[in-house]
Amino acid sequence: MEEQIKTTNPAPEVSASASSATSNVDIKALNEKIQKESAFVDLLTMEMSKVIIGQSHMTESLLIGLLSNGHILLEGVPGLAKTLAITTLSKTVDAKFSRVQFTPDLLPADVVGTMIYNQKQEAFTVKKGPIFANFVLADEINRAPAKVQSALLEAMQERQVTIGAETFKLPEPFLVLATQNPVEQEGTYPLPEAQVDRFMLKVILDYPKKEEEKLIIRNSINGFPTPNKVLTPADITRARGVVKEVYMDEKIEQYIVDIVDATRNPEDYNLAHYKNLITFGGSPRASINLALASKAYAFIKRRGYVIPEDVRAICHDVLRHRIGLSYEAEAEEITSEEIINGILNSVEIP
């Protein structure tokens, strides 16, 4: 995927964007603060690597979602450690975790909760569902019908759940981590665009390398070590505040807007041949998520400012599920990955 994108010159230690910072932004002080506050990233990655061999991109994506308050959809064939990665992440954070196995007979009440009759009190009381947790693993989300999938909409977007006449706030941090299996069509219900758009990132997983697979076999036979808890919900909340402070120059903002606009109006970027391949492009939510994810990526890289390479690094995960492909594109077997590559190669880099 990355090889198809034209590479740019390696970014200097202080990019042009950073050097043009306004006088009220002290890049040096901000860098020092980020260096200090992001120290836990290496620790968290090390704990996860005890169980997850390879799949560094998936681990990075989980961290980006955690730091930017965004939900993540993992897609890959069975056996690529999607569920294991999410449960491992939950073990490194001292927070409440719940897992929902989505099946065709699942009901919305099984996810969000329902009203039950209490004989002692002679009244209906609320029984909260597994959605009331810091980390919610929606396993094989495309195996449940639309009414169950839509039960997640309010929770994911509004961070609240309505049961009966009462509305309940969900705990902070709140993160939905969903998995789906792309290889089976029978007994599955494809996620509607409105549902998919609420995921900040859609991460596609590939097979591990041969050397990594040997380590996976060895660890599976000998038993995986238990990761240690290295974070608390308060640590995550504080880190999210610091991520928002990461400096983003106006030129980077314009770069993000141009990339998303190219998915809507490709002819304005010398990509007229994409016009009949795209039915709809990214909404402003795509621009917002691209900016937030870029800041989180810079934070993970221990940097206090965003450079174009940060935007390009996470662009596929943010946009691949926000571009509608036409029948013509499907007939020509053109994927959203190829369209994003073309856009990144055509939009001018600041």
* Amino acid type, 246: V
- Tokens (6 digits) for 55: 């799949």
The verdict on 62 and 208 lying in the same domain is yes
For residues 215 and 278, state if they share a domain: no
CATH number, residue 274: 1.10.8.80
Q: Look up residue 99 and give its two tokens.
A: 């897992």
237 assigned to some structural domain:
no
pLDDT per residue as tens, the chain (350 positions):
444 454 444 444 444 444 444 446 788 888 888 888 888 998 999 999 888 888 888 889 999 999 999 999 998 888 888 888 888 888 898 888 899 999 889 999 999 998 888 888 788 888 899 999 999 999 888 888 888 888 887 788 889 898 888 889 999 889 998 988 876 666 678 887 777 888 999 999 888 889 989 988 988 888 878 888 998 888 999 999 999 999 999 999 999 999 999 999 999 999 999 999 999 999 999 999 999 999 999 999 999 999 999 999 999 999 999 999 999 998 998 999 999 999 999 999 98
Whether residue 46 is contained in a domain is answered as: no
Cα four-point dihedral sign 157, 161, 164, 166: negative
246 near 253, Cβ under 8 Å? no
Contact at 8 Å (CB) between 37 and 242? yes
| Residues 160 and 256 grouped into a single domain | no
Both 140 and 96 in a single domain? yes
**Quick check: is 238 in a domain?**
no
Residue 201 lies in a domain: yes
Same domain for 326 and 218: no
What does DSSP say about strands 135-139 and 123-128: parallel, antiparallel, or unpaired? unpaired
Q: What tokens appear for 217 in the block?
A: 């076999």
Whole-number Å distance between alpha carbons of 350 and 348:
6
- Residue after which a domain boundary falls, among 196, 226, 256: 226
CA dihedral 212, 214, 215, 221 (to 10 degrees): 150
- Judge contact between 71 and 177, C-beta under 8 A: yes
Q: Are residues 256 and 145 in the same domain?
A: no
DSSP annotation of 56 reads H
Give the C-alpha separation, 99 to 138, whole Å.
6
Q: Where are the alpha helices (DSSP H) in 27-139?
A: 27-37, 39-49, 56-68, 82-92, 108-112
**First-to-final CA distance of the chain:** 22
Domain residues for the domain of 251 are 12-39+244-350
Q: 63 and 295 in contact (C-beta within 8 Å)?
A: no
Q: Residue 171 pairs with which residues in a beta bridge?
A: none
Beta bridge partners of 163: 166
| 24 backbone φψ class: left, alpha, beta (φ>0; ψ -120 to 50) | alpha
Does 297 reside within a domain?
Answer: yes
pTM over 0.75, yes/no = yes
